């Protein structure tokens, strides 16, 4: 009983000491509250941030494509860069269109073209900036119309496109832009930011709780901050058990047991573990995603680990194609056990 009461006590103490700051934290998502405002404050992707820092200092901004996984700071980088370049003229000099906005060919021909033609008073040597978030979801026709607009108004306007896959942006636009690539953040970078947020918000946490947050986020800073806020507001204490309740992902220890049984070529035990996860209601996608993360960090022979990752990758591809039955996971376990059996032989 004493253990169960502890989180509540910590939470009450937290609320008392934090005062109005904590209340404010609940009103505003921490993703927005702790979004960097300067290019130099952006976490991770040191090379990309340094390139953007040089652009913000010199003021000579080219058309940009920022490409990389979600939650790595692409949109934040563009917004910080626009603020640094335009300062007080930000509102008049920036047009931001997100994936939620209609961005078909008509919007490019009308809204974007009209904004590019507008006369705006800006600091000397600065250009208007059009930010297109999730640019890889724009229609092909809109992208074709955009490339001509980029050429005609190159004297007054710069374009900044953020996307997850630069290959989905047509080549004529790619050739007109400088491509800046972002990668997933390292665990230490995510942890450093989480510790700062937890200290500021007076969040009660234990070490394995932050480890669980980092595991579930997988290099996505947005996901990490959302998970820690959801766990804190739901349970008070950020612990491993509470994090996996909030995130509703298969517990990595359960997945690790399945991997151990596969390493020992014990198919029946591995299948029992997988069946238990399926009976708990986890989808094949949930299981295969966590399985990949566990295998990637598993302590095993390099050759064996690479073979496991290869088979998990093939299974993941089939599940993405829609073949997400329990039979796929069962076949994967059989292949993993066969790899281990052949390695021992």
Per-residue pLDDT tens for 21-30?
Answer: 444 444 688 8
High-pLDDT (> 90) share of the chain, %? 30
Q: Is residue 35 part of a domain?
A: no
Residue among 10, 25, 7 at smallest CA distance from 225: 25
> Is pLDDT of 288 > 70?
yes
How many structural domains does the chain have?
A: 3
| pTM > 0.85: yes or no | no
Q: What is the CATH number of the domain that holds 306?
A: 1.20.272.10
Q: Is residue 336 part of a domain?
A: yes
> Is pLDDT of 205 > 60?
yes
**What is the span of the domain harbouring residue 281?**
252-344
315 and 212 fall within a common domain: no
159 and 210 fall within a common domain: no
- Strands 178-181 vs 204-205: parallel, antiparallel or unpaired: unpaired
Per-residue pLDDT tens for 50-99?
Answer: 999 998 888 888 999 999 999 898 899 999 999 998 888 888 889 888 86
Q: What is the pLDDT of residue 100?
A: 66
104 — phi, psi (to 5°)? Answer: -80, -170
> Is pLDDT of 10 > 60?
no
Per-residue pLDDT tens for 217-228?
Answer: 888 899 999 999
Burial (CB count within 10 angstroms: exposed 0-12, middle 13-18, buried 19+), residue 251: middle
> Is pLDDT of 1 > 90?
no
193 and 172 fall within a common domain: no
Q: Is residue 130 part of a domain?
A: yes
Domain boundary among 225, 247, 269: 247
262 and 293 fall within a common domain: yes
Q: What is the CATH number of the domain that holds 151?
A: 3.40.50.300
208 and 300 fall within a common domain: no
Domain boundary among 126, 156, 181: 181
Q: Is residue 169 part of a domain?
A: yes
Q: Which pair of tokens denotes residue 228?
A: 């820690």
202 and 288 fall within a common domain: no
> Is pLDDT of 315 > 90?
yes
Q: What is the CATH number of the domain that holds 204?
A: 1.10.8.60
> Is pLDDT of 342 > 60?
yes
First to last CA, the chain: 51
> Is pLDDT of 182 > 90?
yes
Domain boundary among 163, 181, 199: 181
Q: What is the pLDDT of residue 6?
A: 40
Q: Is residue 36 part of a domain?
A: no
> Distance (Å, rounded) from C-alpha 267 to C-alpha 125?
67
73 and 159 fall within a common domain: yes
């Amino acid at each position: 009983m004493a253990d169960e009461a502890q989180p509540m006590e910590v939470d009450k103490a937290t609320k008392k000491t934090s005062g109005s700051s904590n209340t404010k934290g609940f009103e505003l998502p921490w993703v927005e509250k702790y979004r960097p405002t300067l290019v130099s404050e952006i976490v991770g992707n040191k090379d990309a941030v340094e390139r953007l820092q040089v652009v913000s200092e010199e003021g000579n901004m080219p058309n940009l494509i920022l490409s990389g996984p979600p939650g790595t700071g692409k949109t934040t980088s563009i917004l910080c860069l626009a603020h640094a370049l335009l300062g007080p003229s930000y509102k008049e000099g920036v047009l931001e269109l997100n994936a939620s906005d209609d961005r078909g060919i008509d919007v490019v021909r009308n809204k974007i073209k009209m904004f590019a033609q507008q006369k705006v008073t800006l600091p000397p040597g600065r250009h208007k900036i059009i930010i297109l978030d999730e640019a890889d979801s724009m229609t092909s026709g809109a992208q074709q119309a955009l490339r001509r607009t980029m050429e005609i108004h190159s004297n007054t306007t710069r374009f900044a496109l953020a996307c997850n896959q630069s290959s989905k942006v047509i080549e004529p636009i790619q050739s007109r832009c400088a491509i800046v690539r972002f990668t997933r953040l390292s665990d230490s970078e995510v942890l450093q930011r989480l510790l700062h947020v937890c200290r500021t918000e007076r969040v009660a946490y234990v070490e394995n709780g932050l480890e669980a947050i980092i595991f579930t986020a997988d290099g996505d800073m947005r996901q990490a901050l959302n998970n820690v806020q959801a766990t804190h507001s739901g349970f008070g204490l950020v612990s491993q058990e509470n994090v996996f309740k909030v995130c509703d992902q298969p517990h990595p220890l359960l997945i690790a047991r399945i991997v151990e049984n596969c390493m020992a070529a014990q198919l029946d035990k591995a299948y029992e573990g997988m069946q238990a996860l399926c009976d708990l209601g986890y989808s094949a996608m949930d299981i295969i995603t966590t399985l990949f993360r566990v295998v990637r960090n598993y302590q095993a022979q390099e050759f064996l680990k690479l073979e496991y990752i290869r088979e998990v990758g093939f299974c993941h591809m089939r599940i993405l194609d829609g073949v997400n039955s329990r039979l796929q996971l069962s076949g994967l376990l059989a292949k993993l056990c066969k790899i281990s059996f052949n390695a021992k032989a």
